Structure 1
Amino acid sequence: MNTTLAILIISALALVQASTFPGSDEDYSAWPAATLAESPHPHSSNWPCDVGHFPAAYALMHKVDKRLERIDNEDTKKRIEDFAVDQLRRCTSNGQMDEHCVKRSIGFTMSFIHHQKTQANRL
């Protein structure tokens, strides 16, 4: 149990560190411009508007959406969505979203997803 927890923490830290290397950031800045013409909400319908309209949040939202495509259990999906939304809301202050906070949240959220998938496989 302690070993699993240590591996999860190390993995999360490695993901956060990897996202700080030059050239490792994906360019999500083009998303709003490409999708604004299609709808007033450039984000997936999985995301509430209070966090979904921030361009800084698109990296986390995209990664979570991709992981959710591979999960069949609706309860697990809901827990993951709620966790990710909570992480994004914690990164919002005074009507702005802290990009560095979102990058840190990516590692935490990916670790949470892994944990949820592991728990679902045990049942």
Structure 2
Amino acid sequence: MRVSCIVLLACSLALAQAGTWRQSQDYISSDELRPSWTHRHSEMWPCDVADYPEAYLLIHKVEKRLQRMNDEQLKNRIVDYVVGELRDCKTGNEMDEHCVKRSIGYAMSFINRHKHQQL
């Protein structure tokens, strides 16, 4: 009987610890989605798209790709394309998160196509 109580107690403590660990992992994952830049207003991104948290993921991914490029003209073309995509995702004063996520693939494809054309 005593062994059963000890095993039950140990299992309960292990489950409680696992739940706490999972919550801390969820918190870390949500922080990783934040953009690399600390403020919303940037010379690169106009306020009408950069002010929406839904746009952060796409902007962050594009910024990471742009860091590896040297051609300013290509960078400007890519930013213009992404801004157009983000503006297409706006409806009134809201940005459609699903539209932005779909735009990630379009933007990455656009970047790859233009990078390969320059080589």
- For the criterion TM > 0.5, the same-fold answer is yes
Q: Please give the alpha-carbon distance, in whole angstroms, between the structure 2 residues aligned to 1:43 and 1:61.
A: 12
Q: Please give the alpha-carbon distance, in whole angstroms, between the structure 2 residues aligned to 1:68 and 1:88.
A: 17
| Cross-structure match for 1:69 | 67
Q: CA deviation at 1:75?
A: 1.1
After superposition, the C-alpha distances for 1:11-52 in whole angstroms (9 at most, x for unaligned) are xxxxxxxxxxxx9xx6369849x94xxxxx425431000000
- Name whichever structure is richer in helix by fraction: 2
Q: Matched residue of 1:70: which SS?
A: coil
From 47, 52, 57, give the equivalent of 2:55. 57
Residues 84 and 109, structure 1, Cα contact 8 Å, conserved in 2: yes
**How many equivalent pairs are there?**
91
After superposition, the C-alpha distances for 1:46-77 in whole angstroms (9 at most, x for unaligned) are 10000000000000000001101111111111
Q: Which has the higher contact order (CA 8 A, sep 6+)?
A: 1
RMSD: 2.4
Residues 56 and 99, structure 1, Cα contact 8 Å, conserved in 2: yes
Name stretches of at least 5 consecutive residues in structure 1 with no aligned partner: 1-22, 36-40
Give the share of equivalent positions with the same residue, in percent: 52
Residues 51 and 85, structure 1, Cα contact 8 Å, conserved in 2: yes
Which protein has the larger Cα radius of gyration, Structure 1 or Structure 2?
2
From 102, 111, 114, give the equivalent of 1:113. 111
Residues 89 and 95, structure 2, Cα contact 8 Å, conserved in 1: yes
**Aligned runs of 1:20-59 on 2, under 5 Å?**
27=30, 31=34, 35=38, 41-59=39-57
Q: Matched residue of 1:60: which SS?
A: helix
Q: Which amino acid aligns with 1:107?
A: G
